[in-house]
Amino acid sequence: VNPVEVIIRKRHGLELEANEIREFVHSYVNGKIPDYQMSSLLMAIYFMGLSDEEIHGFVNAYVESGEKVDLSFHPLSKIDKHSTGGVGDKTSIILAPLLASLDVVVPMISGRGLGHTGGTLDKLESIPGFRVDLSIDEFKSCLHKHNVCMIGQTSTLTPADKMIYALRDVTGTVENAGLITASILSKKIAEGAQGVVYDVKTGSGSTIKEIDEAGELAKKLLKVSAEFGHKSIAILTDMSSPLGYAIGNWLEIEECVRIMKDYPNYDHRSSDLVELTLVLGGAMLMLAGKCQSIDDGKLKCMENLANKKCYGKFVQLVEHQGGDKSFIENPDYYPKAKYVHRIKAMKDVYIKNLDAKNFGLAAVELGCGRMQVDDKIDNTAGIIIEKKDGEIIKSGETLCSLHANDETRIEKAAHLIRKAIEVSSEQPILKNKILEIID
Amino acid sequence: VNPVEVIIRKRHGLELEANEIREFVHSYVNGKIPDYQMSSLLMAIYFMGLSDEEIHGFVNAYVESGEKVDLSFHPLSKIDKHSTGGVGDKTSIILAPLLASLDVVVPMISGRGLGHTGGTLDKLESIPGFRVDLSIDEFKSCLHKHNVCMIGQTSTLTPADKMIYALRDVTGTVENAGLITASILSKKIAEGAQGVVYDVKTGSGSTIKEIDEAGELAKKLLKVSAEFGHKSIAILTDMSSPLGYAIGNWLEIEECVRIMKDYPNYDHRSSDLVELTLVLGGAMLMLAGKCQSIDDGKLKCMENLANKKCYGKFVQLVEHQGGDKSFIENPDYYPKAKYVHRIKAMKDVYIKNLDAKNFGLAAVELGCGRMQVDDKIDNTAGIIIEKKDGEIIKSGETLCSLHANDETRIEKAAHLIRKAIEVSSEQPILKNKILEIID
């Protein structure tokens, strides 16, 4: 394989052979093809796209670059969930223990915050002691014992994807449905899942703004998953405004803990989050063959939230992965951010929308995310939404509060939040968060 | 300037600002922007193109990255010629001394062979002792004394172009009219030329196969040159078959020397070469303000070929740049290749076309060019065409002879040549080499 010829063929829109893709990817991992040739190929792919066969080739090349977790020792179905990333999206924190409590194995490999979107690993690590860097053996042993384990991408799993993803991030080649599909699917195959529910988000807080593009990605994910013998369901969801009331690492864990403890009497501001969690959970149960419909699966999920089996499983998971469960049992003991700044209404109005992207950026500004790769995450920083979109707010009432340990960060965040609030004199009609279920 | 944002804006087809281009290019030269971000930008440019303003920005960034030769000490007009590259294209070897003998300063910075096309520098270096790596001061002093100097791109002239050209070569991003224009024009501005005649080639032996693309490139070159106050003329020429009868470094010098010595009684197989040289020379004289029309200029060129002033100037140039003029005076003393293989006709036919690209590749195969960057060039290897396209050849007559010092190289070259010969039972109508003159 001559790398320049491969690049030029893709540039001309020709289809690459599986063995060309394999050799290009593996030579890149081995350092025989330099970054600049890979980035040039990736940009050509951005423009010319990848056929399903080519995506298939990338998935195989990624999986073959590392270890494949063998979960055949476990008799239960292995089902995972993947979200394309959003703001305040904390469904994984509830779904993983919930499904595990319903006799489904959830081998979940998650990511960190990226841009304005939060990351499950960062959230979990806000629980003191919680380890996400388990070895594959520790991962398997945790799954064996509790049906669930939540870790980060190890260096032995799909290292090619890890390297290429990092390169895409700095070369403007992230937004391509084919490359995204290959990246997601390879990790799911390597982690040992047999089926995956894809939460494909669209709207301002998503990395994919347009619903058509989200639909295209969802279809590609389903098609290529099926080719690998994976059962899957894709759910298109709206990410125009944040999910639930908390944005920020510990603040989001706390919101989840309160739902798991209080269900069905949880805070009404968590309603959209709970509804999405139940739909995703129902779909996961469908894939596991444990119910006849998503609605039927939702009922089973509601039951295990209400009987606290989900909460109990979460405490087990936290303990097994080294986390201090006392903060789960008593969230009030968790340290608080030093500064709280309240954004208040100037007159009586309806809240029409809270722009998710700006809320996400404001949270990063407050210290919840990284602006540079090696930035330290602030666990207690974040935003609490007091009034959700659709509600009425009276003059002088707090719309949301910004939590920070560095006072200088508040001003810029507050500016972003003020830009993010859309109001209306009439009661707005809210969009359903669940836009479409594709299977 | 955030490099990823610049890449993404270009990817979306937005126009980059001059200062963004400058900073991106200069940060690349300084090592602050890595190869992989530059190659990703270049591929985005390949797909989205560059506006005239953006090309302008690249030219300025390239020129500013290095030294600009100041030729204001010289009272005469400074005119150069640039060819997009072909097979057997040796016009520069004659044009440079010819124009110098007509009181035009020719500050010529040439390139090396690339792919199947030959390079003026490689040809000049086949003259024992000839130095093309002169310093800028030596370059100026040679121009002062002889009106002409022929060198390679130094490290101080447009280093950004040199780095980016090398990167384009290995990342499949060469073929873009905007990038080609910026690369060519920046060198011409830096070398101190005031006007340039562009020989834009099309057809199999050219890097640009389609005449439409060649026309687009010619127009871009003229437009952006004019914006820099450069006078220019573009000549679209056909590169379907090799120019003249010799391909190979010394063999081409020898063909030129014989034309300069024998004019107007030169070998008839050099006719297409001589005609193109005269048109280009006429156009250069036009730009220098020394004639009223290209035809008028051609007459002056013919005169200085016939009176041997061109030849005399060439001998001066060779001597000044360290070359051994005895081989110019007596080309027969030059060493010969060890092996000569004759390709003969099997029956009486007309030669319809000799495919330039395959002749070029065959010459590289024989040792005239490089397959790897550090390959050594064989000065005496090459091809002598005995019968040109349009001529009749009788069974048993030699069509061309392959010259090599390594016998093992002949077979593959002969195979390429056989594929390159197109014959006809009727006398073919030949295309004119000069397709269009644009100014």
| A113, A368 contact by CB (below 8 A) | yes
The answer to whether A200 and A217 are in contact (CB under 8 A) is: yes
Distance between B24 CA and the closest CA of chain A, angstroms: 13
Interface mutation target, options B4, B47, B171, B207, chain A, most CBs of A under 10 Å: B171
Give the position of tokens 């059962």: A231
Q: How far is CA B97 from the centre of its chain?
A: 16
**For B87-128, what is each residue's pLDDT tens digit?**
999 999 999 999 999 999 999 999 888 778 889 999 999 999
CA separation for the pair B49, B14 (Å, rounded): 10
Q: Which one of A8, A24, A35, A40 would you mutate to disrupt binding with B, by most B Cβ within 10 Å of its Cβ?
A: A40
Q: Would you call the peptide bond into A3 cis, given omega within 30 degrees of 0 as the criterion?
A: no
Which residues from B are below 8 Å from A44, CB to CB? 43, 46-47, 172
* CA B366/CA B377 separation, integer angstroms: 10
Q: Go through chain A and tell me how many residues it has.
A: 439
pLDDT of residue A373: 65
- Answer whether B38 sits within 8 Å of A34, measured CB to CB: no
A170/B39 CB distance under 8 A: no
A95 is written with which tokens?
A: 């779904």
Whole-number Cα distances in Å, A15 to A28, A39, A44, A49? 19, 18, 12, 10
Q: What does residue B436 show for φ and ψ, rounded to 5 degrees? A: -165, 140
pTM: 0.87
Shortest CA gap B114–chain A (Å) = 15
Q: Closest CB to B4: pick one of A36, A46, A170.
A: A170
A35 touches chain B (CB under 8 A): yes
> Is B392 in CB contact (< 8 Å) with chain A?
no
Q: Do B40 and A42 touch (CB under 8 A)?
A: yes
Residue B207: other Cβ atoms inside 10 A: 20
pLDDT of residue B376: 86
Q: Which tokens is B316 given?
A: 């001066």
At B210 the pLDDT is 87
- The per-residue pLDDT for B216 is 93
**pLDDT value of position A349:** 96
Q: Long-range CB contacts (< 8 A, 24+ apart) of B398-402? A: B398/B342, B398/B343, B398/B344, B399/B343, B399/B344, B399/B345, B399/B351, B400/B342, B400/B343, B400/B354, B401/B340, B401/B341, B401/B342, B401/B343, B402/B340, B402/B341, B402/B342, B402/B343, B402/B362, B402/B366
Q: Identify the bridge partners of residue A436 per DSSP, sorted by sequence position.
A: A236
Is B375 in the active site?
no
Whether B183 sits among the annotated catalytic residues: the reply is yes
* Distance of alpha carbon A110 from the chain centroid: 7
Q: What average pLDDT does this structure show over B196-225?
A: 93
Averaged over B131-139, what is the pLDDT? Answer: 95
| CB-based contact, A14 to chain B, within 8 Å | no
CB contact under 8 A, A170 and B43: no
Contact A403, A197 (CB under 8 A): no
- Which residues of chain A neighbour B42 with C-beta distances below 8 Å? 40
Amino acid at A127: I
Residue A169: phi, psi to the nearest 5? -60, -35
Q: Chain B within 8 Å of A4 (Cβ-Cβ)?
A: yes
pLDDT band of B373, cuts 50, 70, 90: low
Lateral strand order in the sheet of B392-393: B392-393, B349-354, B421-424
The answer to whether B208 faces chain A, any CB pair under 8 Å, is no
Q: Which of B4, B8, B170 sits opposite A37 (nearest CB)?
A: B170
C-beta atoms of A39 and B39 within 8 A: yes
Closest CA to B79 of B100, B63, B56: B100
A-chain CB neighbours of B11 within 8 Å are 43, 46, 172
User: Residue B389 carries which DSSP code?
Assistant: T
Check: CB of residue B351 under 8 Å from CB of residue B393: yes
Which residue numbers in chain A have pLDDT < 70? 373
Residue with tokens 């006709």: B345
A43:B38 CB<8 A: no
Enclosing H/E stretch for B415: helix B410-420
Separation of alpha carbons B316 and B96, rounded Å: 12
Check the CA dihedral B44-B33-A159-A87 and report its sign: negative
Shortest distance, CA A8 to any CA of chain B (angstroms): 5
Q: Which residues of A touch B36 (CB under 8 A)?
A: 34-36, 38-39, 167, 170-171
How many C-alpha atoms does B68 have within 13 Å on its Cβ side?
17
**pLDDT number for residue A237:** 97
Residue B37 in this model has a pLDDT that exceeds 90:
yes
At B100, which helix (H) or strand (E)?
Answer: helix B91-100
Which residues in chain B have their CB less than 8 angstroms from residue A8's CB? 172
Name the token pair of B396. 């048993």
Cα torsion B142, B147, B150, B156: sign? positive
A-chain residues near B114 (CB < 8 A):
none
Contact A172/B at CB under 8 A: yes
The partner residues of A350 in beta bridges, in order of sequence, read A392, A424
Active-site residue, selected from the candidate residues B10, B78, B81, B168: B168
Instruction: Please choose, from the candidates B391, B37, B413, the residue with its C-alpha nearest in 3D space to the C-alpha of residue B245.
Output: B391
A322 vs B166, higher pLDDT: A322
Alpha carbon of A417: minimum distance to chain B alpha carbons (Å): 23
Contact call for residues B310 and B328 (beta carbons, < 8 A): no
Please indicate whether, in this complex, the C-beta atoms of A35 and B38 are within 8 angstroms of each other: no
What ipTM is given for this predicted complex? 0.85
Cα gap B52→A119, rounded to integer Å: 43
- Inter-chain touch B7–A36, beta carbons under 8 Å: no
Q: What is the pLDDT of residues A144-173, one digit of tens each?
A: 999 999 999 888 899 999 999 989 988 999
| Per-residue CA distances from B254 to B94, B124, B261, B332, B333 (Å) | 11, 11, 10, 9, 11
